[in-house]
Structure 1
Amino acid sequence: MSRLAAAFALALACAAWLPAAHAQVGPPLPTLVTAELPALKRLGEGRLRFLGIHVYDSALWAPGAFGFDKPFALDIRYAMTIKGRDLSSRSIKEMKGIGFTDPDKLSKWEAAMDKVFPDIKPGDRLVGIHVPGKEARFYSNDRLLGAVADPEFARAFFGIWLDEKTSEPKLRAKLLGQAD
């Protein structure tokens, strides 16, 4: 192999390794979240790319093993600008994909998310807390945004990432600590 080809192969290997290594070094949870749920530990984390573009890094925090019957936090650190309304709309599409199809509920949930989700810019952080049997609570950049007090909404929303029927099974496996 020529020196040029070897250098190119090394550069490609480094380029493939660096984003994965970076995604494994997420920050701790915001103070407001750890005050509410001090026993959470990071289970796993991963990066979402769309057509090669870095959308966000995410981490799942839980008090041991993950389960929808336990409290947990999903931490998303955005790498791009996204309107809050677009977050709501995309969330509804993903909820439909995992089997939540009641049009009245979806409409109600979308309106609730529109009230809670801010416009996002690169570097912003959105943390959702799953409160089993009660609600989903949302924080951004260490301030409470609001909550959607509906346990079925909480299951559907966090199911976007954690349901077996998610559109991103590789990311799910990483969040659950089942893949590198």
Structure 2
Amino acid sequence: MGQRRPDAGPDVECDAGGLLLSPLSARAQDKAPAAPAEVRQLWPTPHLQGQARLRFIGLHIYDIRLWLQEPLRGGAWAQQPLALEIAYARNLDGLKIAERSLTEMQRGGPIDEATSARWLAEMKRLFPNVKGGDRITGVFQPGQAAAFLHNGRPLGEVRDARFAQAFSASGWLRTAPSPRCASNCWVRHEQPQCGRAERRPPNR
């Protein structure tokens, strides 16, 4: 994302195209929906580690939620299985979803041109067009693969450990209390932990 909106608070970042991603308030987190069925099949009581909302010139585009088996305490986030749920608020083209996903992955660090092209081709192959109310969930196993589901139905997987790590890192970046903090923590392979002290945990 990059540029900071002049009137934005410390937990909001946007890019020149008008896209704005901000963590949801504590009140919104308290009202967060239950984990989708595909996540509950992985872990009976998944933990909502973080969530955020993407807007474009004020329009709600999607909510993104990061699910773990249990709360993560410590810095070994890159070794943790996770599920990244994106709940769409409006219709979007699958090719555009793939392109935006690659952009988010590139925020975590440089990706060479050949690898970017290969990953983009994989995501274009997998990601469908979505309607408002649809969701795409990515399930990531460290050092193995990333599997994707559309409304709970399998789409396929990318068996590339580096891809899985980069996509899961984009989840941490997009759902951390402070995007700038998350970016710094990604470089150190640590769990993003900074943000407003008064924010309550998503799950009680």
Q: Please give the secondary structure, in 2, of the residue aligned with 1:68.
A: helix
Q: Specify the alignment match of 1:38 in structure 2.
A: 44
| 1:40 positional shift | 2.5
**Which structure's residues are more often helix, by fraction?**
1
Deviation at 1:84, TM superposition (A): 0.6
Q: Which residue matches 2:35?
A: 29
1:121-154 deviation digits (Å, cap 9, x = unpaired): 1110111111111011111111111111111111
- TM-score computed with the length of structure 2 as normaliser: 0.67
CA distance in 2, matches of 1:91, 1:51: 19
Shift of 1:171: 11
User: What are the within-5 Å matches in structure 2 for residues 90-169 of structure 1?
Assistant: 90-163=100-173, 169=179
Equivalent in 52, 57, 62 of residue 63 of structure 2: 57
What runs of 5+ residues in structure 1 fail to find an aligned partner?
1-18
What is the one-letter code of the residue matched to 1:73?
Answer: A
Could you tell me how far 1:96 is from its partner in structure 2? Answer: 2.7
- State the 1:92 CA deviation: 1.9
Deviations 1:102-126 (Å, cap 9, x if unpaired)?
1111111111101110101111011
Count residues in correspondence: 159
Query: Is the CA contact (8 Å cut-off) linking 2:52 and 2:65 kept in structure 1?
Result: yes
Residues 39, 46 of structure 2: 8 Å contact kept:
no
Q: Is the 8 A contact 1:45 1:58 kept in 2?
A: yes
Runs of 4+ in structure 1 off by over 3 angstroms are 19-24, 170-173, 176-180
Cross-structure match for 1:84: 94
What is the CA distance between 1:38 and its match in structure 2? 3.4
| Counterparts of 1:171 and 1:126, CA distance in 2 | 26
1:171 and 1:114 mapped to 2: Cα distance?
30
Cα distance between partner residues in 2 of 1:39 and 1:87: 29
Give, as a single letter, the amino acid of the residue that structure 2 aligns with 1:77: A
Bigger CA radius of gyration: 1
Identity %: 34
Q: Which stretch of structure 1 is more off in the superposition, 142-151 or 32-41? A: 32-41
Structure 1 residues 29 and 171, CA, compared in 2 at 3 Å: closer, same or farther?
Answer: farther
Q: TM-score, normalised to structure 1's length? A: 0.75
Q: Give the distance between the partners of 2:171 and 2:181, measured in 1 at CA.
A: 7
Distance 1:146 1:26, change over 3 A: farther
CA-atom RMSD in angstroms = 2.9
